[in-house]
Chain A
Amino acid sequence: MFWDKPLETIDCRSLQILQLDRINTALERIAATPGYKSFYDSKKYKIKPLSSLEQMKDLPFTTKQDLRNSYPSGFLVTDMEKVVRMHSSSGTTGIPTVIYHTKNDIDNWSSLIARCLCMIGMSDKDVFQNMMTYGMFTGGLGLHYGAEKLGAMVIPAGAGNTERQLKFIKDFKTTVVHITPSYALHVSEIIEQRNLLDGLSLRIALMGAEPYTEATRLKLEERLRIDVINSYGLSEMNGPGVAFECLEKEGMHVWEDNYYVEIVDTKTGMPLPDGEEGELVLSAINREAMPILRYRTHDLAFIYPERCACGRTHRKISRIKGRTDDMFIIGGVNIFPSQIEEVLMKLPQVGSNYVIILSKKGSLDKLSVRIEVNPDLFAGDLRHLTQLKETITRKLREEILINPTIELVEPGSLPPSQGKAVRVIDNRDKTV
């Protein structure tokens, strides 16, 4: 099923003309915004209309740091009165990244998501339970608006509270859920244990926000007798709806009329041909409030060189194969080790050495931080240590929104940090 058949099946030549036109509009508006233009000035790039998409590769990349430098609104190209919403990255200590949306932007983003949902056979007859965190996290409101646009009944359940989720799924005959893979594994285990499946109407689960394997997909599909659909998005590019699987379930279609997609060599930054793996670089070319061109996602993927059997002409990207930086994703939340370091280093009782350990408890992700105690500030009693543990737990939870397990250890028991030591040990594969 198509939401917008002419656009979804647009021929290659027309798509390129549309892309070029949209990129040039974005460039024109950037050039007219001093705060944004100065970014390109600083990169010694003179903004002028492109005559072909070939010239995109000459445009400087935009990084997360560039977005931070523009905080709070340097990259906003419309008047603030036209803005109806902002989304921001998580984190309270560092400078956040902020993305602004006009009414048209929200409308357009919702349409892209409606396209995704229509593509996998959803319609106004569906009951859609959104089990993602609402608020700043785009997986909440993004899918919510898209599903409403499609006409489905939306249950804005949010994440967590499994008993209530199950009650809603059962009582409202939920047919489609949007959920992180780790939470889906957890919920599906409970459904299996209590033998609830026969009373449910579930048929599709949309999954994104964190990486998962094909094996996990098959396990969930078998356990719940549903289709599991892969979704990809990032807040800098709106959020969900950037790329989405069709029912072929092999690769995610990138809506190329809205996103210009490139895979570049991680070292040279040069674009790679379709089929070769590299860093995914995306441009939001159809956004009024805040166009972003050539954004480095740090996600590794490749573009499928062949056409999709579903009939859509928009190219597909593979699952995300990994990251080019040290970001990790736990329970659907993106975390940089530097966020944890910043919290720890503000506490004098904490020594200079620590290790972050990711593991699985049942099907849920678990984050532990092993920290060496500072010998100079040891007060000789358990009370202080217990308080220290509680303080660290609370401060980390405020920063990364995940409840960590803190383990205090003796100095010298962790491998010494050597410059940029490996601070993150991911045991999740081993403990599954």
Chain B
Amino acid sequence: MSIVELAVFMEDKVGRLYEITKLLADKGINIRGFAVSDSGTGFGILRVITNDSKNTINALKERGFVVHEKKVLCVRVPDEVGGIAKTLSIFQSHDINVHEMYAIVNSLIVFHVDNIEDAAYLLKHEGMEVINQKAIEQI
């Protein structure tokens, strides 16, 4: 159970983030969440979760952007004290390494882990809500 994340290679220059978000807005695509990582050497990566991943890819590629599609784990984390720690403790106790994580809309958190299906099973087993692609498109 996973959702689609799109990673966009981006040069570190003025207006680049605006350009991408404006492009998606013009296509009627809703950005559900994002994260930016900067390499510190002139380029970075923008990760986006949208309500329409197929059209997002098409729109970005049409404009010449370098895009990579990746399956990621998405979990609803209770908006309360210790909510995130509780989720991470499940990963930690099962020796699952988290490469990246970022929050998106509606108290959802995106995780990069090696084995998404195993991690999703464990989380569900602990009573957590794991989100699928259909759900992310229909929020």
Partners in one complex: yes
Are A378 and B9 in contact, with the CB atoms below 8 A?
A: yes
Which of B43, B44, B65, B69 touches A409 (beta carbons < 8 Å)?
B43
Q: Does B93 contact A (CB under 8 A)?
A: no
Tell me whether B67 is interfacial, beta carbon within 8 Å. yes
Q: Is the CB of B11 within 8 A of A409?
A: yes
The number of residues on chain A lying at the interface, defined by a beta carbon within 8 Å of a beta carbon of chain B, is 17
CB distance from A290 to the nearest CB of B (A): 46
Interface contact B70-A412, CB-CB below 8 Å: no
**Cβ-defined partner of B42 (8 Å) among A375, A378, A380, A408:** A408
Which residues on A sit within 8 Å (CB–CB) of B10?
410
Q: Are B43 and A408 in contact (CB under 8 A)?
A: yes
From 399 to 419 in chain A, residues with beta carbon under 8 angstroms from any chain B beta carbon are: 407-413
Q: Let me know if B67 and A378 touch, CB within 8 A.
A: yes
- Give the CA-CA distance A375 to B37 in the complex, in Å: 18
Of A5-13, A176-184, A263-271, A381-389, the one with at least 4 CB within 8 A of chain B = A381-389
- Per the CB 8 Å criterion, the residue count for chain B at the interface is 20
Residues of A within 8 A of B66 (CB): 373, 375, 378, 410-411
Q: Is the CB of B9 within 8 A of A373?
A: yes
B48-96 residues at the A interface, CB under 8 angstroms: 61, 64-70
Mask, B1-22, CB within 8 Å of A = 1, is: 0000001011100000000000
The answer to the question of B138 belonging to the interface, with a C-beta cut-off of 8 Å to chain A, is no
Are A410 and B11 in contact (CB-based, < 8 A)?
yes
Closest B residue to A410 by CB, please name it.
Answer: B11
Residue of B nearest to A413 (CB): B11
Given A410-B64, A411-B64, A381 contacting B42 (CB threshold 8 A) = no
Q: When chains A and B are docked, how far (Å) is the Cα of A408 from the Cα of B66?
A: 12
Q: Is the CB of A386 within 8 A of B39?
A: yes
Residue of B with least CB distance to A351: B66
Besides A379-B68, A382-B39, 9 new A-B residue pairs in contact (Cβ under 8 A), listed by A number: A375-B66, A378-B68, A380-B7, A381-B45, A385-B9, A385-B43, A407-B42, A408-B9, A410-B9
Q: Contact residues of A with B, CB < 8 Å?
A: 373, 375, 378-382, 385-386, 389, 407-413
- 3 closest Cβ pairs, A-B complex: A380-B68, A380-B7, A412-B64
The interface of chain B, by Cβ under 8 A from chain A, is 7, 9-11, 37, 39, 41-45, 61, 64-70, 99
